[in-house]
Amino acid sequence: MHSPAPLKFASPLLDEATVAAATDVLRSGHITSGPWVERFEAALSAHCEGRPVRVLTSATAAVEVALQLAGVGPGDEVITCAQSFFTVLNMIVKVGATPVFVDCEPVTRNIDLGQVEAKIGPRTRAIIPTHWPGSLTNLDALYALARRHELRVIEDAALVLGSRWRSRQVGAIGDLVTLSFHPNKNITTIEGGAIVCNDDAEAKRIEVLRFHGIERLADGTRDVAFPGGKFNLSDVSARIGVAQLERLPGFLATRRALVERYFARFATDPACELPPRPVDGDGQSWNMFCVLLPLARLAITRKEFREALAARGIMTGVSYEALHLSTLGRRYGYREGDLPETERIAAATVTLPLHAAMTMADVDRVCAACAEVVALHRKGGR
């Protein structure tokens, strides 16, 4: 018998038409930012109900530029959730601000807005929530809070392109919203990201910040008043993005169907903790499917669980470590026990395979393997 092919936990789905389209751009000789960047930005803007969108080389660059656009810098504080990817922490620190962490909600993993207000102080300039697949941050409550305290909001929507809040696309409402087009996201440009902003003036400012901070003067020369980065997306990547965005509805339908299969078939003894199952399944884009292992009832560690799945050809991830307990986070005085829900989730989470190239049989294979590994290693044996 042949062993089944390895199953990646994330993988882009690029068809031959997209590869051919990218090749056409390469052959055109115009491969840096150009007309395809403009077309991709226009298509993303249409997706976000006409709000201006500017693309960059990564979501990390998008968060950095969004912080700069919001005027966040040395001496400022930014409140965020410690259950997120390293990007958020890194970019807050990179612009010279201080991260102020709050805990996450125990089920959704979204920022605990009830804790945010208590952390707002005279130096607070912005709030950065990370939206989690399966359940978005409560945008009504978030923006009501931000308005009361005159704070900017930067929504980290890297995981949720295509999700909807009260029937409206993420990015269609709110303040600044950052998106990711990394290969493990809902669409890809190979590497890439974007900022959804409020008006043309902000969009123009992003264009300056993403290209060295250069501003053109009336006499045709250039000047720099702010140390901008070099974050402009190539036309090759943008051409891929246009094709991917056209396929987004199909990708999302596949992801939702796969998640429904997970909910129907995933069962272990002892039970793993599953993500929240939304009432409106069509409103969520499902970039990831994370479970929490019942480690207290298992005779193996998370690392050993992942290795057991890898031995069966099933790759997994860890989404995410607790930011406040990273070496960088600890420099701001954070210690174990400060954010118990984040720490509980970070210690037990495993990201299972989920991407648009998967089949229902793949989901069944993952579910069967997880059940087998848990049964083999539960304390007290079978």
Residues annotated as part of the active site: 185
Q: Which helix (H) or strand (E) holds 289?
A: strand 289-292
- Residue 247 CA to its chain's centroid (Å): 19
Distance of alpha carbon 307 from alpha carbon 325, whole angstroms: 24
Q: Where are the alpha helices (DSSP H) in the chain?
A: 16-28, 35-47, 59-69, 86-94, 113-119, 139-149, 200-209, 235-265, 302-311, 327-330, 340-348, 360-377
Q: Is 189 exposed, middle or buried (0-12, 13-18, 19+ CB in 10 A)?
A: buried
- Token look-up 């029937």 returns 167
67 contact partners, CB below 8 Å, separation of at least 6? 78, 91, 92, 95, 97, 126, 154
Query: Token digits for 140?
Result: 């009504």
Query: Token digits for 69?
Result: 């656009």
- Token look-up 């950065």 returns 128
